Amino acid sequence: MRIAVSGTHRSGKSSLIEALSTRLPRYALVDEPYHSMVEEGFEFNHPPSLEDFVAQLERSLEDMADDAGDVLFDRCPVDLLAYALVHADADGFDLEDWLPRVRETMETLDFVVFVPIEAQDRIRVARDEDPDASRAAVDEKLRELLLDDALELGVEVLEVKGDVERRVRAVLKELQASAE
């Protein structure tokens, strides 16, 4: 099974991935592009530029092409599309150029776990950590792209809510249903 965990920053994606990895030890973990690229010496702007998100999108597509078998991905290409589409310089991003590769890559997933910002936010974010309020805009864009399937990706999406354990149980239940 190939599963991607998707959501805006500070939504609980990494906590969910961590908890899932202990329950699914045979699954390979693929870190989000940002962390992998920083480890390799890539220097991101602060705040990230449109080019930074495009570089992460390219890396996400590459990472997903290389991995086979049981894999948990922290983020998927749709995450980076959402960030690019809500960026202040979004008019410089040509979605149509990326759609064929994104669609092809998303078809390799069994499902996407969407971790939304909940009404009673589980993770507090200081104003200086999200000065332009992009977090809410990315969450809204991900809802449109994943839940409403605005890009006609046709990928199955499981929206999870609640504490980490409740989210883990929802993913494990979906895995069991998919295996049957």
**Chain-centroid distance, C-alpha 37:** 16
Burial of 17 (0-12, 13-18, 19+ CB in 10 A): buried
Beta carbons of 178 and 109 less than 8 angstroms apart: no
The pLDDT value recorded for residue 131 is: 46
pLDDT tens sequence for the chain (180 residues): 999 999 998 899 999 999 999 999 999 999 999 999 999 999 999 889 999 999 999 999 999 997 678 999 999 999 999 999 999 999 999 999 999 999 999 999 999 999 999 864 545 545 455 545 688 899 999 999 999 999 999 999 999 999 999 999 999 999 999 887
Q: For residue 85, which of 5, 139, 149, 147 has the smallest C-alpha distance?
A: 139
Domain boundaries, the chain: 2-179
CA atoms within 13 A on the CB side of 21: 16
What pTM does this model have?
A: 0.91
Q: What is the CATH number of domain 2-179?
A: 3.40.50.300
The pLDDT value recorded for residue 134 is: 87
Q: For residue 141, which of 93, 97, 84 has the smallest C-alpha distance?
A: 84
Query: 66 CB contacts (<8 Å, ≥6 apart)?
Result: none
Helices (H) and strands (E) counted in the chain, each on its own, are 7, 5
**CB crowding 126-142: b at 16 or more within 10 Å, else e:** eeeebeeebbebbbebb
